[in-house]
Structure 1
Amino acid sequence: MDALIIAARKATDPFVRMQLYEAIYKLSNYEVPILWLGQYKLVRTYWDWLHGRYYHPTLAERYDLLWEDPNAPSRPLGIGSYVNDASTYVIVTHGWPDTFDPAADYETFGWEIWHNIGDTLVTYWKEDTEHVQPDLAVAWAHDKEGTTWYFVIRGGVKAYDPWHDKVYNINATDVLFSIWRVAQLGLDPSWMITEFVDVNASSVLSEDELDQLLASGELTAEYAGQVATPKSLSELLQLFGYTGETAGVVKLKLTQPYGAILSILADPFVSVIPMQYVFDYSEGLQGKYQEALKASDYGRNPAAWATYIQPSEQDPSHLLLNQYPVGTGPYYVKEYQEGSYIVLEYNPYYWNKTLWSQQPYGSGGVPSHKTVIYLINDDANARISILTSGDADTGAIPLDRLEDVNGTQYPGTSFKVKVETGELEPTIVFIVLNTMKPPFDNVYVRQALMYAIPFEQIKNDVYNGFIERLYGVIPAGFPGHNDDLVIKYTFDLNKARELIEKSGIDPTQYKFEIWYNSGNTQREKIANYLQTIWSQLGFQVTIKGLEWPTLLDRVEKGDFDVYIIGWAPDYLDPDNYAGPMMYGGTKFSVLDFIKTTNPAEVEALFTEG
């Protein structure tokens, strides 16, 4: 499996990639270290006074791009003086972000927040999935091998620190420091940097240095479907249509060519934070900002920062940002009470606030949504009540309860709750087994459990039909998904018992617990179904709900038996499923592949050793 995954990362030929990912899909179906459940269909529930909603498969909506009918009702929320009115966007949901540190966060809630409080080098505009757009990078180019990338950083960008009411100017050193820090901490999302970027071989350059490199004619720029070989910085900026000030250049050195690198750099975990903020307020680092800058030769030798930032959850910069996030985006975290609410306020220092002088996004440099409030409630009945009362504009409503809210009319108005449905999303749900301990280290046991999943019942009773069956790691719509190659696991307890017998284990000797995140009633129902049915196979099964951050922390340490979880892609490539879910960490001294249909040629390779 690991060899296939690495080979697929190296492959550039679409045909070869397809064959490799089909093999990965087939193997993930046979080995089933993860019990694949299904792929979601798009469903959203909200009041029809809310406008501008859009869908992107990897990035959340930006709340400053949404707006409300000016006649939307005004309702006090019981949190200070906050009210839900046309200028306040209220979301009722469950759970809690794993962390407020972007370099450590690897789950949808935290990424949703950071997409609104942070900026990355590049981004996607609304629904566009084909072309990345400038964000903090205003232009970029790469060498012919695709292993060295140059990003020109936008000038005039400021990060706002609401905790101390301070403003920091952002430049190329801050950008490189933020990406380098992701790799150095080595926390959950770091693999997307460490696998593809050599952060210590990366550096900060001046605009003049990039201008000289461009003059050689060796760099290629691609933007909005155009491919060019600009011979100067001015030509490069002209290609991207940028005329403003700049703040240095970041050179990223890749470990290998990787076609999805720009999509990775659009992910919220690489949001840029001000380096000086980290050194102003992290315990033990105060007063060492200039020292760290000089040690790194102002970003030309980022490896020097390892003296100050440690690969640990106890690193002072992580402990700081975990509680007090600071970013450059359209909003900032104003206040929060864990397990209760999070308040975002529009950022008056946002570099692109001219957008808010355009209707319908805002007026006079102020967005239509001045405030965003997350109301946290793990009780589904309470969330339904909060939404239908008008206290929230949108909410996380269980799919089997949609009819309880659909069409609800606000008293004295024509406003109604709307349930919007769409096509398949690239988001999947599955059951993770701890294959490091018995009985889950036995492939026949794992296959038996796949045959003991009542999918049709789960599809209809839990997801109200808004899910389709998945048989392997790669969802429909991606290269490699081919159900003609795999076992079609159906609900068959007799087949499950046959496989248990074939495995040689005695199921009555095994007791295990199935976990789900508290407040997710759909996963709770699935756990109940599994408890009932797997107990019929002889296992002793219990279930337990854990708070979201607790669940993530426990499973990361391998401290679990079974848990139910979902996956939304970080970037749109089959490797973003195969890599994080199936790669086991094997390193190869030699790994290559050939494209051939001649069996004799393959045989010769083995003969030659």
Structure 2
Amino acid sequence: MSSTRVSRTTLIAVAVIIVILILASVYFLTRVPAPTTPTPTPTPVTTPTITITPTPTPTPTPVTPPPGPPALVIETSKAFVVVGLKGSSVSPFDTKGKPLIVVSYQPDPQATKPVEKSVAFTDINPSFCRIEYYDALVMAARRVGDPFIREQLYEAIHKLSGEEVILFWLGQNKIVLNYWSWVKGRYYHPTLGERYDLVYEVPGAPAVKTGIKDYVNDAKTLSIITFGWPDTFDPAANYESFGWLIFHNIGSTLLTFWKDDLKTLRPELAVAWARNAESTEYYFIIRSGVLAYDPWNKKTYEITALDVLFTIWRIARLQLDPSWMITEFINVNESTVLSEAEFNTLLAKGGIYADYGGFSGEVKSLSELLSVFKYVGGTANVVKLKLYYSYAPILSILADPFTMVIPMKYLFDNVEELKGKYEQAIREFNEAKTPGVWAKYIGTGSNEPTHLFLHKYPPSSGPYYIAEYVEKSHILLAYNPYYWNTTLWVQLYGAVKPAYERVLFMINDDAVARVEILKRGAADFGAIPLARLDEIKGYTYPGTDYKIIVEEPGLSPAITFIVPNCMKEPFNNKLVRQALAYAIPYDEIINAVFVGRIVRLNGVIPAGFPGHNEEIAVKYKFDLAKARELLRQAGVDLSKYSIKLWYNRGNVEREKTLTLLQATWGQLGLRITVEALDWPILLDKTEHGEFDVWMVGWLPDYIDPDNYAGPLSYGGTKFKVLDAVVVKTIDEAQRVFISDK
């Protein structure tokens, strides 16, 4: 006010405004729980919606800390993160002028699944380690939209993931590609893998017998030597890289990335998409004329929006390994199918937006939306997906190979329990407009009939189909003559088929044999131990100028770590885990085992992602004296324990790493056996907590720090209350914890 005189009326008005501001700040601290999926589909995570609250209006009266447990304070690069239970006390500290990000929570024991009944990577981290305050940070970061707050929360998570030793973090892998020089067009994509119809061979390359049946590695056959075996051929149940690579080549998803692009999503089965203003409803217009091929019965099925909805709903319904990426974010029972006319009416009402190709704005008609995507052609209705809350990476999830569309009728035609019921299931959906009515046909779990069928007999809507497989021997893909995008092949090769008409995966768990198979030209590229790459680099095929090329284009988002079972002694003791972290010979593992093709990582967030901050990370180094001191503090005698260290058969680097640990951890008293298991068996045992220690790597499902912090370190705690509030002072932070709103 410019005047120094204030009337009585003005004073009253000011007082009223102050009261309103105080009431408003209290109101904004109130949280509304996220909606839950009605039965019979899986109940989603019940963490309440996060709201970022502005700094409350200061009051002159300092707050007396309650006699509650102390809140934990973590300094990050640009803030202090203060996390604790409702009622926690905040002790004075120097804020250094940084903002305080306060995360207060109240757990929900009834909604929280017991640790021993949880599934690794799905509803708990692979070590079965549950830490409530840490889980609160992970879930708050997942639901916060503000980039600054999100990054600072992930910095705190990165630091604490090392301090708590949820996993033994080893390193971030470098990208390594090997191939004969007659192969052209190889690329690297961390989530999708390669599309082999985009790779080709120069004329004149040698034709070499593979040693499997009468298959020859020639100009029309891409031959790959590898190890292991896909966990399952059912995309809804597969959560490992080999299976996803196959699905990327035999399936089609709503959206996709082109080659090695990680940023720009492109249309695939969806020719266009749009959202509401809150980004909690998405609409996908489905391409017409797409056929799925049943190679087992030589039939085709036309894909519609109904099949897309069924596929996504079925993933949630089965509740198998990758299902969390659907159940956490998408309310499948409130998702549905719209006709083009229904969607056009919705668009005309306003409030629907598109973001694509430089356009970002409201669209008022289907024709306008299609013009944004420059699509001219037929459509097969519209899928509406209802989200529990806005989550930017959801579109990337819908590009993941586990979401490859399965025609609903394909399963109803072939699964004995469903035969003759397809028309009835469609009628029931048309009446109810919710896929929840399908729960009477599709069950849950690994013994569900459609899963058992797809485990062996997947269909194809992609460039290839599975033509033949013999477990532990080979998998043969053949080009799909019904593929919807043969125009791409005409553009690339001038033909209605790809350059490689066949893709042969040869399976061999013997690393030495794999090297020899590659060197004799029976394979075009393969899984070669890192320590042998320098040996094969530049190797020349006899009588030719063709050489083996080894490319190392940069750092991969893939990471490598060792998993202790925190449900078992002695790994349920943090001091023991810290002691064992000091007994890992990191330099020897990086330089001798991985021959420098891995970079040290000290927490859950890899380089290149928001939240990665090595300056504040806990850095363990090989120090047996420090390890023994921590064991003395813990009062634990490791000589009382015999443990097994597991790795997937054929993985040389993991075998060598665990053999080193057998020696160094053995010096602390542990009696250790190193064992190899077949990949599917290893996954089955470890996901149910039936292990001591195992070694594995992680390729992201989508490019976001949440896809590391969530599946790799979240302990599965559900919350009645979860607040994320930004304040300036310690008194304001204390008010967040004592507020009953």
Letter in 2 for 1:355: L
From 251, 270, 277, the equivalent of 1:137 is 270
The equivalent residue for 1:12 is 145
CA shift for structure 1 position 541: 0.9
Native 8 Å contact 1:497 1:537 kept in 2: yes
Separation (CA, whole Å) in 2 of partners of 1:71 and 1:598: 72
1:148 and 2:310 matched = no
The equivalent residue for 1:408 is 539
Separation (CA, whole Å) in 1 of partners of 2:711 and 2:223: 33
Matched position secondary structure for 1:318: helix
From 591, 596, 603, the equivalent of 2:734 is 603
Letter in 2 for 1:235: E
Post-superposition Cα deviations, 1:278-337, rounded to whole Å, max 9, x if no partner, equal 111113111111111112227821001111111110011000100011120000000000
The equivalent residue for 1:422 is 553
Native 8 Å contact 1:94 1:377 kept in 2: yes
Moved more, 538-547 or 291-300: 291-300
Native 8 Å contact 1:407 1:418 kept in 2: yes
CA shift for structure 1 position 70: 1.2
CA shift for structure 1 position 404: 2.4
Equivalent residues in 2 for 1:58-457 (5 A)?
58-297=191-430, 300-359=433-492, 362-457=493-588
Inter-CA distance 242–311: structure 2 relative to 1 (3 Å threshold): same
**Identical residues among aligned pairs (%):** 57
1:47 and 2:200 matched = no
Native 8 Å contact 2:253 2:400 kept in 1: yes
The equivalent residue for 2:665 is 534
Matched position secondary structure for 1:595: strand
Letter in 1 for 2:177: R
Separation (CA, whole Å) in 2 of partners of 1:412 and 1:399: 27
Matched position secondary structure for 1:592: strand
1:543 and 2:674 matched = yes
The equivalent residue for 2:156 is 23
Matched position secondary structure for 2:723: coil
Separation (CA, whole Å) in 2 of partners of 1:78 and 1:290: 47
Separation (CA, whole Å) in 2 of partners of 1:400 and 1:286: 53
Separation (CA, whole Å) in 2 of partners of 1:151 and 1:386: 45
Post-superposition Cα deviations, 1:88-129, rounded to whole Å, max 9, x if no partner, equal 111100000000000000000000000000011000011221
Separation (CA, whole Å) in 2 of partners of 1:572 and 1:224: 20
The equivalent residue for 1:478 is 609
Matched position secondary structure for 1:489: coil
Separation (CA, whole Å) in 1 of partners of 2:312 and 2:667: 50
Native 8 Å contact 2:725 2:736 kept in 1: no
Separation (CA, whole Å) in 2 of partners of 1:135 and 1:598: 50
Native 8 Å contact 1:274 1:327 kept in 2: no
Separation (CA, whole Å) in 2 of partners of 1:298 and 1:480: 47
CA shift for structure 1 position 344: 0.2
Matched position secondary structure for 2:578: helix
Separation (CA, whole Å) in 2 of partners of 1:129 and 1:36: 25
Q: Calculate the aligned-residue CA RMSD, in Å.
A: 1.0
Aligned length: 607
The equivalent residue for 2:36 is none
The equivalent residue for 2:189 is 56
1:572 and 2:703 matched = yes
1:593 and 2:724 matched = yes
Post-superposition Cα deviations, 1:484-511, rounded to whole Å, max 9, x if no partner, equal 1122100101111111111111111111
From 462, 473, 495, the equivalent of 2:626 is 495
CA shift for structure 1 position 266: 0.5
Separation (CA, whole Å) in 2 of partners of 1:482 and 1:4: 16
Query: Which one has the largest radius of gyration?
Result: 2
Q: TM-score, normalised by structure 2?
A: 0.81
Separation (CA, whole Å) in 2 of partners of 1:243 and 1:312: 41
Letter in 1 for 2:599: E
From 16, 20, 34, the equivalent of 2:167 is 34
Matched position secondary structure for 1:26: helix
Separation (CA, whole Å) in 2 of partners of 1:24 and 1:232: 44
Separation (CA, whole Å) in 1 of partners of 2:737 and 2:571: 34
Separation (CA, whole Å) in 2 of partners of 1:570 and 1:273: 20
Separation (CA, whole Å) in 2 of partners of 1:469 and 1:233: 50
Moved more, 409-418 or 222-231: 222-231
Unaligned runs of 5+ in 1: none
CA shift for structure 1 position 604: 1.9
Native 8 Å contact 2:217 2:223 kept in 1: yes
Letter in 2 for 1:15: F
Matched position secondary structure for 2:237: coil
Separation (CA, whole Å) in 2 of partners of 1:351 and 1:299: 32
Post-superposition Cα deviations, 1:259-293, rounded to whole Å, max 9, x if no partner, equal 10001000000010111111111131111111111
Separation (CA, whole Å) in 1 of partners of 2:673 and 2:396: 40
Inter-CA distance 607–103: structure 2 relative to 1 (3 Å threshold): closer
Matched position secondary structure for 1:480: coil
Segments of 4+ moved more than 6 angstroms: none
Native 8 Å contact 1:203 1:299 kept in 2: no
Separation (CA, whole Å) in 2 of partners of 1:283 and 1:584: 39
Matched position secondary structure for 2:363: coil
Inter-CA distance 298–494: structure 2 relative to 1 (3 Å threshold): farther
Native 8 Å contact 2:460 2:480 kept in 1: no
Matched position secondary structure for 1:529: helix
The equivalent residue for 1:2 is 135
Inter-CA distance 167–246: structure 2 relative to 1 (3 Å threshold): same
